[in-house]
Amino acid sequence: MAFSRQLFVVTNSIVLASLFVLGLLPFIHLLSVSLSSNLAAVSNEVKLWPVGFTVEAYKFLGQKPEFLNSLAVSLERVVLGTTLNMILVVMAAYPLSKEVERFRLRTLYVWFFAVTMFLGGGLIPTYIVVKETGIMDTIWALILPGALSVWHMVMLLNFFRSVPKDLEEAAIVDGAGKIKILVKIYVPISLPAIATILLFTLVGHWNSWFDGILYMNSPSHYPLQSYLYTLVTKINIEAISTEDIGTLNRLSEKTLRSAQIFLGALPIMLVYPFLQRYFIKGITVGSVKE
């Protein structure tokens, strides 16, 4: 039995280490390409180490005011959007986790939300709604259309339903109100699930680029991903300075693409380790019942 256990641990460690390496190698290659010279990147000489080391791509992106402004817009979007998303998800999931006897209209509201998971108005109606509500070219155009994720609400709703009812009943006997029960009991117990949803929401806001192109009339209001997209796809049709032209002559499209992809993924790579333990617990919790 001991030998079987050891064999499993060794095999499991090898498989997980292999998957870790396979997942890490593309990012190492991406970073190496972004730090390599134009000729080396174009001729595919770069593997896992920079060839003709240069930081021109990052200088070109970082020294431009537009880049720093778009970074500020993305940070604002992540903070405001994630905060609003989490508040709405928690506030919607809590009452819908109750039985029909305690919340008579629960079924009606559940169906109201469930329909939106499978049927959507489409791009044009959504654009018209955003325009007519007067939030075009503002940060709220990036936040309000997707302020409540029904998928995340359903995930948290099911987690709330697993919370022992005895805790809530005891709190009611002690005179606690609904909000206090939610804040003091449900939220602390549900931190693994909330952290998992928080990670998904944060990644979604950070990586989103299409809505910035769609709803922002001014490039100065673009979030980072939208700005980096236009920088690469429209790099030779926008007005650029003489200095920028000289820099672009020393860079390749491949180098710039690698730099912008790496910069776009870097914040999530830095945040994920801090949420990983909650993420794993949020997935596995409830799988074993006592």
How confident is the model over 35-52, as pLDDT tens digits?
888 778 877 888 888 888
pLDDT digits (tens, 9 = 90+) for 115-135: 888 887 788 889 999 999 999
CB atoms within 10 A of CB 73: 21
In eight-state DSSP terms, residue 238 is: S
pLDDT-based confidence at residue 92 (cuts at 50, 70, 90): very high
Give the type of residue at 249. Answer: N
Structure tokens at 131: 């325009």
Give the closest residue to 224 by CA, choosing from 189, 195, 260, 253. Answer: 260
Q: Mean pLDDT of all residues in the chain? A: 82
pTM: 0.76
Q: How far is CA 112 from CA 84, 99, 108, 130, 140, in A?
A: 20, 17, 6, 21, 24
How far is 277 from 82, CA to CA, in rounded Å? 20
pLDDT-based confidence at residue 174 (cuts at 50, 70, 90): confident
Alpha-helix runs per DSSP H in 162-208: 165-173, 178-181, 187-189, 191-207
pLDDT given for residue 85 in this prediction: 95
pLDDT given for residue 116 in this prediction: 85
Whether 225 shows a pLDDT value over 80: the answer reads yes
pLDDT given for residue 236 in this prediction: 45
How far is 184 from 170, CA to CA, in rounded Å? 12
